[in-house]
Structure 1
Amino acid sequence: MSRQNPLQPKSSLLEKKSRNRSGLQMVMIIMAVHVVFLGGLLFSGCQQENSIPPLASSTNSIPSLPPIDEVAEPESKTNNVDIVTAPPVVEVTNTVSLSPPLPIPLDIAKPISDNPQLVSEVVPLVPASTPNTTEVPVSSDQSEYIVVKGDNYTAIARKHSVTIAALKDANPAVDPNRIAIGQVLIIPAPLPKKIEPDLEEGVIQYQVKAGDNLYTIARNHKTTVKAIRNENNLKTSNIRPGQKLIIPKPTLEE
């Protein structure tokens, strides 16, 4: 326990106690003010949170404007599909519709023999000329020949003992320079064999062979080229294999 200072008067102690008591009251008042202030702040904050109005929900709607002189509404787009009915298909047939016959006047309905006007107007019907597609008949003395590879008019004529002119006459529609393999040609009748004249004594008939010429033939038969040409009516000295020549009598001695 504190002892009272004997030097200190009693009145000063009372003042000191009262001063301490007033300081404590002041502290309590300040704390009470702070508590009240903080409580007010907390209360006002809670009240503001509860009093916040809900936000208006955001929409994409466009506010409608008042009509200005009756503006026409735009045509709404739709996905509607218009179904068009196809026209009926006309069936194609080969039938021919026959119309009823037209009435014939009485002057025409009479027989033609009784109507001289129609008799003069009758036109005789002439059949149209048709191309001649029939095959050319082959006579008994003619024959048919099928062209083979390597053939020409000269070889064919020589093979059948006819002349080239006769072969052309028998095939007038054929170009001699354009005959094809497998083409059929008409071979005319062969030339009649000449009747060999009776040869004089010492005169012979000679068939030309390959490699022959008038000079070698004349030398082999002891005659001259001029004599052979005169005997056979040759205008030139050209001869061909197979050709027959009349050799005159020998005129040259060995």
Structure 2
Amino acid sequence: MTDLSLLQILLANLALLAGACLQGVAGYGIGTLAAPLLFLISPILIPAPLVLNAVVLTILMLLRNRGALQVREVRFAIGGGVGGMILAGITLMLISPTGFELAFGVLILIGVLLSAGGLRPALNARNSILAGAASTYMGTITAVGGPPIALIYQNQKGPLVRANMSAFFLVASFFSIAALVVSGYLGQRELQLFAVTFPGVLIGFWLSGKLVNRMPFDGLRPVILGIAAVAGVAALVRGLMSL
């Protein structure tokens, strides 16, 4: 059915629970934390099942933070996302399974470097377009689209970050779904995997409501980036060994 054991399904739900809780608190993180863990559990869990779970989470987050939403600030990032979607779809149609693992590893490590690099770009139209394109491209291929868009929102306040980034991620996720369907990366198996893993997202989102003002995100950041880096290196090694 899903090509996963019961233990793998349980571990996948726990990874998504942690990622959804983190995103509910910080505005992003389900991809950065859960995607590397899901890849280590089984590569078939990314990108499509995680992207589908991200849609559920971003809808819930938009409903929770809708009062702080400022659509005008998000429109440029969404425009950039169109270009990212097209480029990601072309990439997925051209690469082999080995090429996918290599691309996953490289993009994960790029995401880690962006998050840890200390860059502080201004929140303006140009940077929003570039961040939107990069975020949608990375999110489609790896389900880790947070780092580029998070860079331009890192100096904004919590509710605004959670609302605006959720609005962007929701639209970008639909862009990603379109690219995944066209490139053949989203089918019946991926829908089944989504069906057995989304409970973890629901529990994580509920838990984030209890921890939103208590979780020390800055303290967890090195751990999250370390997990992502390990998975990125693992993907590169697997891809290189398959050449």
TM-score, with length taken from structure 2? 0.15
Q: Which has the larger radius of gyration?
A: 1
Higher helix share: 2
Higher strand share: 1
TM-score, with length taken from structure 1? 0.14
